[in-house]
Amino acid sequence: MSNQSSEIDRHELHALVEQIPASDLPAVRKILRALADPVWQSILTAPLDDEPETDEERAEVEAARVEQGPGTSHQEVLREFGL
């Protein structure tokens, strides 16, 4: 991407941010911080795991699904992301 194109994209993004309602800014901030994080970027661009699942892995996944314990409710997740 050329430097000029990059500058145009940044100006467009700044203009879009100015149009976001104040109530949505906390969620947008979290999204932008995640996108700027190099670790998160490597996770997003990592190739899919193409190895077949083993019997042991299948059993561990099933055990995790039936496990009872503390979790995070849908409402808590939405609140965490400012939604």
Q: What does the domain layout of the chain look like in residue ranges?
A: 21-45+74-83
**pLDDT tens-digit series, residues 20-78:** 999 999 999 999 998 899 998 898 889 988 899 999 999 999 998 888 777 888 889 99
Dist. CA 64–CA 58, nearest whole Å: 10
Q: What is the pLDDT of residue 25?
A: 94
